[in-house]
Structure 1
Amino acid sequence: MERIYSTDNLTERVYRSYQRSIYCNPKFKIQYPQNVTELVDLVKESIAKGYRVKGAIGNRHSITDIICTDGVPISLKNINYTEIENENDGGTASFGAGIELSDALIFLEKRNKTLIHVPTYGGITLGGAIATGAHGSSLVHPSSISDQIVRLQIIDGMGNLREISDPQDVNAFRVNLGLLGIIVKITLAIVPLFKATVQTTLEPESILMDGTAQRWANNLDWMQMWWFPSTSNVVVLKGHYHIKLTGSKSDDYLGNATSQFIPELDPVIITTGHDAYETLEANKNRPGLYALERFTELSLHSEVIGKPPIFSEDGVNIKNPANGIAWRLMSNRCHTYCPWNNGNTSSILPEEFSVALQILNLPSAIKTIKEILEIIPTAFTMVGIFIRFSKPSDSLMAISNGHETVTLEWASPMRDNPYEDAKGGLGAYQAILQSLIKNYKGRPHWGKNGLYYFRQSILEETTSNLDKFKSYMKKFDPDGTFMNNFGKRITGSSNEMNIDPLVHHCALQEYCICSKNEDCGHFQSCNKVKGFSVCRDLADVYSDSNYDPTNLTSILYAIGAILQVED
């Protein structure tokens, strides 16, 4: 029986990344098989009719065209079952690839089990997490879901349901980029449920350059940092694991705090934040943007007005240090009112950038970033520069393959008209990204950054296992059933991209490196900064208003983002 059909209705076919920057226009609308049998039949029908397949259209938190296909996109949201193979220490648990990370962890917690380390955002699917190598931050424990895989069940490019248990094959699939097959079932190593203690402290940025940060990370179960260049401060999170829980009420002495790093916000707060940012950008008001950066910095170690505390037991009052079930301190998800789903005109939609470096290059990379910011000052309003650590991974395509890694990440809200209007300081972001990749052989995160950076000519300099991964593509998908533009670029067969038809300035979202002024946004020109071509703003407008950096309302008044409207 036919399960797929074409449609001429563009709105039914087109899908986007969660923050709407990535545009996918397949031949068919997203399919939703109810079980594995339907999924296998759907893949076989697609193959028989000559259509390519994308088999992990989950919550689309990857913001590259890794999520796209020109054929049949398939959601695995209904492939979300849960199983525990045994209840003993050293056991395993299996999950359908469409289950969200938080739901898998809740299932395990009810059985007094957990994973040893988890990524920050719990709203990603497990299938998506291992496709791109989503990670947390630890040099002591496996920091990614991918490195906790024991075995997998997949559908290969011929439509066959296969078990993947050979260690070499598993290492290829740990970060599979959606190009080896459709992951159906993921079996993970589990451990007894345990609690942790975390504390955030404010430190000088010198710890990033004198070896202190690396020494701390080497001795902590969990450590991550947020660097705020405009204040020369670093917020450091230090996490210590505790022994497994007994299941008795005596465990409560350690507390029950949870993370609110990805906050559920009042829609009014989201709208106000969106309007404030857009007003600042429209006026090129850098001091106002620095005020928002300072507000973010304070929110990570203190109570502020307008944003939930990062760790809390009641959702209102900060706990610092905080104690609680470890995974609930490491990871959370918002539900109804996430910053990015507050409506088409009032959401805060982030563009994300992330590059992994060998840890020994951290001090030099920080100095390079500081030099760039001397030339093009800019603010990092959403998370500062988020710094995380990973121990070496055996996964072929992991950004931490083969060596200890430090990842530098930042996010910036998109403009209301991202096709014409540039973010303030875009040139600094571009120069930093190009420098980290070119000068430090940085590895771009597979689910972040502009599409330009995912091409063979760049990746062959940073990704030593690229040829070996191609051999696995031929082994498991010889006919290219799962190939897409992302795969074509990284294998060198094409530089084609999935580009939104509204894009006219290719450098604004890093579809290209600018070569002429027209590649950049309004009131920008293409210039060289430290040898890299970037889009630079032509002018800044300054504001000298005073504000209370702990109070969002005070900040917004100071930058003129709250308008007085007559009745």
Structure 2
Amino acid sequence: MKMIKLFIAFLALSAVAGLSFGLYSTENPAETLSNYQNTYECHPAVIHTPSSVEEIQQIVQDAIANGQTVMTGNRKFASQIDAACTANGQVQITLENMNHILAFDAEAKTVSVEAGMRFNDLNDFLRSQELAVNMVTELNIFTIGGMLGSGTHGSTLAKPSNMIADYVTSMTIVNGLGEVKVLTGEALNAARVNLGVLGVVVEVTLQLEPAFKVLADVKGYRDDSGLENIILDIARDNYSANIAWFPGIGRYTTTLYNPMPLQSEGNAYNAQADVSDTQEFFFGLLFDALHEFPGSGLQCLAAKVRYGARDESYYRDLDTGKVVDYPIGHSDQMQYFECKDPDSCVWDKLPIALQEVAIPLEELPNWIMDVREILAAHPTTCFPLNGIYFRFGKASPSYLGMSAGRDTAYLGIEYTLRQEGNAVPKNYFVNLEIEQMSIRKYGARPHWGKNSVAIFENAPAKYEKWDAFMAFKNEMDPQNIFTNPFWQRITGEDSLENYFSPECNARGECYCQTDEHCADGTSCQAGAWYDDARICK
């Protein structure tokens, strides 16, 4: 009932503002790739869909002969930016036809799959064998190769890692010479999170564990005072913890998972993506309003709506479809969710962007206190989508994983997407002050696929084994066949200074240095609390 009342409230506000809601088109022209929201397009000369390793070898060898570069990524790639795109006029490979299980060893608890296989299909098979992948994530429709390329992660400090990349025992790759290489040992650590620049990952073998069920405990707390003092205990005392902090309204929610025997009664699943057409319509009104409605009151109302959606169970019974207050179910179906239509999730249609960074775990309490200071300098700021979202993971042996070499806290802030011709989101400058404070004061590592151009400033310095990764890339791809504009920006080959242009801040391409970098009506200023930041306000 409370959700209905809140939806009616923001519908009324939207109606007063005279706002409309339109979905993005899902049609793409031939030989064009787009991201999951159709907000970023790539224009390769050709898109190859090979069905065998030998075909991939030939594609790479042809590219070498023709002086072209290559990148692997789906026709609808799960990134906000161009991490999976080849450069315009170059060669794109998709692995949609290479999506099979190649070998399965129940005794050794290993499975070998082609890199184009989707995680949900793998989980369906493993569940039937009473086995599971020893990691957690949330959305389960990614391909295995894509998860390795970007370092897809979940949240656990109870397991050796929260990344599927760290449960790979061997990886087969077609390198930049068109050769097939099987990677293990230290070479595998270099390639676990590879950004697609070492070659085409074609096959991987994963270490499994016995299947288990989990009990989910979802709670809301209407007083966030002292959260910094208990948040690490929450993370360490549970198998998996996801925490959404809504500081603008002084609240937070926790979703905690703990293991249960496989024989436990319960057949629940994670239904947070089961959004009705009516709810989707309301969300669309809300997101338009967040762009155009004056003031910040609507942001805080939206934050209350989202808090209300996360402060009690969002799990349903697989058989009845009814909400379960004490949800127990298979670990994958509880922790990972999928959309009713995997090709048309609600966030595919609604303008959402996500900033996610990772900082050393022990620094999280200090980071929260610093965010409180920033928000005190920017009163009436709310985070209307999922608040500030915390997840956790142990140190990874990977060279370029977000948790490489250090126990890690992951910090995510969602906001309404910048759209051409529209104002930036309300209080976006507050997000930018937090963002710059995170990367400059705390050495935060940006997620490889979820961020803007600007946030990757000085990215190589964030990784102790960056030079070792570059040496391995030179060995695997001596002619630099596997490169793209994203990689060129990361390495500094294409300097971020090249992106300074009028209103570049509004496009997420720069942190402002002069007023011309800001949108009309704003100027480039020091952060209100973190004065090393530069924000357009």
What's the TM-score, normalizing by structure 2? Answer: 0.88
Is the 8 Å Cα contact of residues 311 and 329 (structure 1) preserved in structure 2?
Answer: no
Residue number among 79, 93, 98 corresponding to 1:74 in the alignment: 93
Equivalence for 1:339: 346
Equivalence for 2:248: 230
* 1:64 maps to 2:60: no
Q: Distance in 2 between matches of 1:489 and 1:331?
A: 32
CA shift digits 1:469-519 (9 cap, x unpaired): 1111101011001011222222232226999xxx96211232111123332
Residue range with higher mean Cα deviation, 311-320 or 11-20: 311-320
Q: Which amino acid aligns with 2:279?
A: I
* 1:428 maps to 2:439: no
Q: Distance in 2 between matches of 1:525 and 1:315?
A: 55
Residue number among 285, 301, 312 corresponding to 1:291 in the alignment: 301
Q: Secondary structure at the match of 2:30?
A: helix
Q: Secondary structure at the match of 1:269?
A: helix
Deviation at 1:105, TM superposition (A): 0.7
Q: Which amino acid aligns with 1:374?
A: A
Q: Distance in 2 between matches of 1:444 and 1:385?
A: 15
CA shift digits 1:102-141 (9 cap, x unpaired): 1111111122211122311111111111111110100111
Q: Distance in 1 between matches of 2:271 and 2:498?
A: 34
Equivalence for 1:368: 370
Equivalence for 1:407: 410
Is the 8 Å Cα contact of residues 470 and 491 (structure 1) preserved in structure 2?
Answer: no
Q: CA 1:157–1:184 in structure 2 vs 1: closer, same or farther (change >3 Å)?
A: same
Q: Secondary structure at the match of 1:272?
A: helix
Aligned pairs for 1:550-565 (under 5 A) are none
Is the 8 Å Cα contact of residues 280 and 346 (structure 2) preserved in structure 1?
Answer: yes
Q: CA 1:16–1:419 in structure 2 vs 1: closer, same or farther (change >3 Å)?
A: farther
Residue number among 16, 41, 52 corresponding to 2:58 in the alignment: 41
* 1:116 maps to 2:134: yes
Q: Secondary structure at the match of 1:30?
A: strand
Identity among equivalent pairs (%): 26
Q: CA 1:520–1:317 in structure 2 vs 1: closer, same or farther (change >3 Å)?
A: farther
Q: Which amino acid aligns with 1:533?
A: R
Q: Distance in 1 between matches of 2:136 and 2:281?
A: 30
Deviation at 1:45, TM superposition (A): 1.4
Equivalence for 1:439: 441
Deviation at 1:418, TM superposition (A): 3.5
Residue number among 316, 328, 332 corresponding to 2:333 in the alignment: 328
CA shift digits 1:246-283 (9 cap, x unpaired): xxxxx3x431111123x132334323311222124212
Residue number among 284, 297, 311 corresponding to 1:301 in the alignment: 311
Is the 8 Å Cα contact of residues 220 and 310 (structure 2) preserved in structure 1?
Answer: no
Equivalence for 2:19: none
* 1:155 maps to 2:137: no
Deviation at 1:400, TM superposition (A): 0.7
Deviation at 1:350, TM superposition (A): 1.4
RMSD of Structure 2 on Structure 1 (CA)? 2.2
Equivalence for 1:359: 361
Q: CA 1:498–1:146 in structure 2 vs 1: closer, same or farther (change >3 Å)?
A: farther
Q: Which amino acid aligns with 2:224?
A: E
* 1:214 maps to 2:232: yes
Is the 8 Å Cα contact of residues 508 and 521 (structure 1) preserved in structure 2?
Answer: yes
Q: Secondary structure at the match of 1:54?
A: strand
Equivalence for 2:8: none
Q: Which amino acid aligns with 1:511?
A: E
Q: Distance in 2 between matches of 1:181 and 1:496?
A: 25
Q: Secondary structure at the match of 1:184?
A: strand
Q: Secondary structure at the match of 2:47?
A: coil
- Aligned residues between the structures: 499
Q: CA 1:207–1:93 in structure 2 vs 1: closer, same or farther (change >3 Å)?
A: farther
Deviation at 1:315, TM superposition (A): 7.3
Equivalence for 2:23: none
Deviation at 1:461, TM superposition (A): 3.5
Q: Distance in 1 between matches of 2:310 and 2:79?
A: 25
Q: Distance in 2 between matches of 1:112 and 1:360?
A: 36
Q: Distance in 1 between matches of 2:403 and 2:333?
A: 24
Q: Secondary structure at the match of 2:111?
A: strand
Q: Secondary structure at the match of 2:157?
A: coil
Is the 8 Å Cα contact of residues 502 and 518 (structure 2) preserved in structure 1?
Answer: no
Equivalence for 1:98: 116
Is the 8 Å Cα contact of residues 72 and 84 (structure 2) preserved in structure 1?
Answer: no
* 1:32 maps to 2:39: no
Q: CA 1:333–1:230 in structure 2 vs 1: closer, same or farther (change >3 Å)?
A: same
Is the 8 Å Cα contact of residues 23 and 498 (structure 1) preserved in structure 2?
Answer: no
Q: Distance in 1 between matches of 2:321 and 2:535?
A: 42
Structure 2: any 5+ residue segments left out of the alignment?
A: 1-27
What's the TM-score, normalizing by structure 1? Answer: 0.83
Q: Distance in 2 between matches of 1:411 and 1:493?
A: 29
Is the 8 Å Cα contact of residues 256 and 325 (structure 1) preserved in structure 2?
Answer: yes
Q: Distance in 2 between matches of 1:271 and 1:522?
A: 30
Is the 8 Å Cα contact of residues 268 and 315 (structure 2) preserved in structure 1?
Answer: no
Q: Distance in 2 between matches of 1:103 and 1:410?
A: 29
Q: Distance in 1 between matches of 2:52 and 2:196?
A: 19
Is the 8 Å Cα contact of residues 58 and 128 (structure 1) preserved in structure 2?
Answer: no
Q: Distance in 2 between matches of 1:489 and 1:471?
A: 18
Deviation at 1:378, TM superposition (A): 2.7
CA shift digits 1:32-56 (9 cap, x unpaired): 1233332222222112111100023
Residue number among 255, 267, 278 corresponding to 2:266 in the alignment: 255
